[in-house]
């Protein structure tokens, strides 16, 4: 696994420090709001588990699946798999996402959830790759852990064809790995 990584972009320490900082911000933001924290599976799982423990207010957990990726390429079309269990009408919704790339997936999810009349929907993404944004998408993440360059990253939940999710850090995958 390790030998397929060209460069460690974000170490475990960097990730945990930033998540604690975001935790303070989100704890203040959601005090008294009893938010529903929605994770976008599967890439978010590791970030979600660390982040939710730093949001020190009562909240509920929920998950959705939205995917637009095959290998390292965004198909540009997002599809759902899996429904939310919570009713979000009148509730504050916080979406946690691993990476905001073209923006297609979250735009799709946002437009779906907003029709259910929540009190608010905000987005916290661990990584943001603004260089890849679909110019038609105006939706922006409300909080970003780290901006990353235009490279394909894996680890800490992020996969390449379902592998590398269990790397404890975020690294850039060697291009020859996906050229194989």
The contact mask relative to ligand 5GP for 33-72 (x = CB under 6 A, - = no) is ----------x------------------------xx---
Among 9, 6, 2, 1, CA closest to 149:
9
Q: Return the range that interacts with ligand 5GP (CB under 6 A); candidates 2-10, 29-37, 84-92, 95-103.
A: 95-103
Q: Does 9 bind ligand 5GP (CB under 6 A)?
A: no
Length of the chain: 180
Please check whether residue 30 is in contact with residue 51, taking contact to mean a CB–CB distance below 8 angstroms.
no
Q: Does 177 bind ligand 5GP (CB under 6 A)?
A: no
Taking the C-alpha atoms of residue 75 and residue 33, their distance in angstroms, rounded to an integer, is: 36
Name beta bridge partners: 121. 93
Q: Which residue out of 101, 128, 142, 159 is catalytically annotated?
A: 101
Is 101 noted as a catalytic residue in this protein? Answer: yes
Q: Does 154 bind ligand 5GP (CB under 6 A)?
A: yes
Binding site for Mg ion (CB under 5 A): 40, 43, 98
Residue placing its CB nearer to ligand 5GP in the complex, 26 or 173? 173
Of the candidates 5, 50, 94, 101, which one interacts with ligand 5GP according to CB under 6 A? 101
Q: Does 105 bind ligand 5GP (CB under 6 A)?
A: yes
Please check whether residue 172 is in contact with residue 152, taking contact to mean a CB–CB distance below 8 angstroms.
yes
Which secondary-structure segment (H or E) carries 75?
strand 73-80
Taking the C-alpha atoms of residue 6 and residue 9, their distance in angstroms, rounded to an integer, is: 9
Ramachandran angles phi, psi of 30, nearest 5°: -105, 10
Enumerate binding residues for ligand 5GP (CB under 6 A). 43, 68-69, 74, 97-105, 152-154, 158-160
The residues annotated as belonging to the active site are 101
């Amino acid at each position: 696994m390790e030998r397929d990584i060209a460069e460690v972009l974000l170490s475990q320490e960097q990730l945990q420090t930033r998540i604690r900082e975001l935790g303070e911000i989100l704890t203040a933001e959601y005090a008294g709001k009893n938010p529903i924290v929605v994770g976008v599976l599967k890439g978010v799982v590791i970030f979600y588990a660390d982040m939710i423990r730093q949001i020190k207010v009562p909240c509920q957990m929920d998950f959705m699946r939205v995917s637009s990726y095959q290998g390292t390429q965004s198909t540009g079309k997002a599809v759902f798999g899996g429904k939310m269990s919570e009713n979000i009408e009148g509730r504050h919704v916080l979406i946690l996402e691993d990476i905001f790339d073209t923006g297609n997936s979250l735009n799709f999810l946002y437009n779906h959830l907003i029709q259910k009349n929540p009190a608010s929907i905000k987005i916290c993404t661990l990584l943001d790759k603004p260089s890849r944004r679909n110019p038609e998408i105006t939706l922006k993440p409300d909080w970003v852990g780290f901006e990353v360059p235009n490279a394909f990253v894996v680890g800490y939940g992020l996969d390449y064809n379902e592998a590398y999710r269990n790397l404890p850090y975020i690294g850039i995958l060697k291009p020859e790995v996906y050229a194989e």
